[in-house]
Amino acid sequence: MQVTGSSHTTMIDTENRISIQVGLSGYSFRVYADDRWHSSGWMSAERIFNTPELNRRYDHVDLSVFTPKFALVPSGFHAPEASRQMLSEVAAIDEEDHVEYIEVPQFGAVLLYSLNVGGTLHKVISETLIRTDGTKGRMLPEPYYMLSAMSGIADYNKIVASYVDGYLYLVIAQGKTLMLCNAYQASDFTTAEYFIFLAMKKLQLNLEMSSIYFRTPLTDEQEMSLYRYFRSVEHL
């Protein structure tokens, strides 16, 4: 029943860096080398011990965990001692959940979350990935990195999504104004697309004039399906 907080900010230096996303069914990562990003695609959990990139040390480690247990609240309404109560109003949490929070200053908000999502893969990877200075990379929820990615998107309509383990994670902003940050249960990609289109419709955003940015790997079929509606499909 602990609650901890942080004002952690993401480093923008890409030299000697790994960015990894971890779900229940597996993981994916990107490594910065030779002046560009190299992506792994989605990998099953059993491959973790045969992945040489995870046995190196990096100056910067971004470790994202997929969890639907999160809530974004305005900074002015957040009281650290009330974090657990506030999160419990929008997410199903229990006694084992360790509730944490992190500031998202670019949107004047605080992200509440729990990484108690079942499975041990994210914990194993956290123990495996060691920084150059010998410290471990901190695990943070996927929505934090999605929100952080907004500043690097030049489009006025900023749409960032991730889809894994039956959940769609979706963040939408217009200019510097955050419009949506949510997770939806979606058993298949067609259902995930439905929630994307529904959110766009409610926010009165034009799909054909907008690009969508995915942080999780897409199959060729999924990417082509999105191309039928969006101006472009990009990868973060």
Task: Give yes or no: residues 117 and 84 share one domain.
Answer: yes
> pLDDT-derived band of residue 95, with 50, 70 and 90 as boundaries?
confident
Q: Is residue 222 in some structural domain?
A: yes
Task: Give yes or no: residues 28 and 129 share one domain.
Answer: yes
> pLDDT-derived band of residue 103, with 50, 70 and 90 as boundaries?
very high
What is the three-class DSSP state of 147?
helix
Residues paired with residue 201 on neighbouring β-strands, in sequence order: none
Domain end marker among 87, 113, 142: 142
What is the three-class DSSP state of 180?
strand
> pLDDT-derived band of residue 128, with 50, 70 and 90 as boundaries?
confident
Contact 203, 172 (CB under 8 A): yes
Kindly report the pTM of this predicted structure.
0.88
* Residue that the structure tokens 């040390």 belong to: 57
Tell me the two tokens of residue 22: 């971890």
Residue 5 predicted with pLDDT over 60: no
Residue 51 predicted with pLDDT over 90: no
Contact 51, 128 (CB under 8 A): no
What CATH number is attached to the domain comprising 72? 3.30.420.250
Task: Give yes or no: residues 76 and 161 share one domain.
Answer: no
**What percent of the chain clears pLDDT 90, i.e. is strictly above it?**
63
Residue 229 predicted with pLDDT over 70: yes
Residue 177 predicted with pLDDT over 70: yes
Residue 3 predicted with pLDDT over 60: no
Taking only the tens place, the pLDDT of each residue in 64-94 is: 999 999 999 999 999 999 999 999 999 998 8
Q: Is residue 148 in some structural domain?
A: no
Task: Give yes or no: residues 74 and 190 share one domain.
Answer: no
Q: Is residue 22 in some structural domain?
A: yes
Task: Give yes or no: residues 183 and 74 share one domain.
Answer: no
Domain end marker among 88, 123, 142: 142
What CATH number is attached to the domain comprising 165? 3.30.420.260
CB atoms inside a 10 Å sphere around CB 7? 10
Task: Give yes or no: residues 203 and 159 share one domain.
Answer: yes
Per-residue exposure over 170-185, b if at least 16 CB sit within 10 Å of its own CB, e if not: bbbbeeeebbebbbbe
Domain end marker among 142, 171, 201: 142
Q: What is the pLDDT of residue 37?
A: 82
Task: Give yes or no: residues 24 and 93 share one domain.
Answer: yes
Residues paired with residue 136 on neighbouring β-strands, in sequence order: 130
Count up the domains in the chain and report the number. Answer: 2
Task: Give yes or no: residues 21 and 41 share one domain.
Answer: yes
Per-residue exposure over 124-158, b if at least 16 CB sit within 10 Å of its own CB, e if not: bbbeebbeeeeeebebbbbbbbbbbbbeebebebb
Contacts of 31 (CB under 8 A, 6+ apart): 17, 18, 37, 38, 53
Domain that holds residue 22: 1-142
Task: Give yes or no: residues 24 and 119 share one domain.
Answer: yes
